[in-house]
Structure 1
Amino acid sequence: MRLLLVFGLVNLTVLHAPDVLTVYALNGAVLALFFRAPQRVLLAVGLVVGLGADLATTGVALADHYAGTGIGQV
């Protein structure tokens, strides 16, 4: 997760674009805390984190689209 976060942050600073790698690294770090949790807890946390990442990615993509900046212009 650390390596993924590093790649995400490098990509974010070099390309100046919204980066999904950073979101995945942070979500993976949170999910690693629940390594030995019961299956019901894993399902609930996975749904919350998964939907949160999807909403965050969608929000960043919409902001990029309407601002007219970022990787969408390349």
Structure 2
Amino acid sequence: KGHTDWINAISLSQNDRVLASASGTRVHLWNLDTNLQVGPLIQHENEVRCAALSADGKLLVTGCEDENAYTW
């Protein structure tokens, strides 16, 4: 299941295989080869404002309304 509200941020890995999408306090990771969600849903305490995936799609950095950056 995908987002139920506006999407605030998206990031595509450089190899075009992983997409991160953020809405509210949640981040979903998608495998674009299968169009399926991968890994656990990432839940933040505050609204996610931005997201960036590493080139290989293995690391994700998110910036939140609490003015902190998080690495996953």
TM-score (norm 1): 0.22
Rg: which structure is higher? 1
More strand by share: 2
TM-score (norm 2): 0.22
More helix by share: 1
Highest RCO, 1 vs 2 (Cα 8 Å, sep ≥ 6):
1
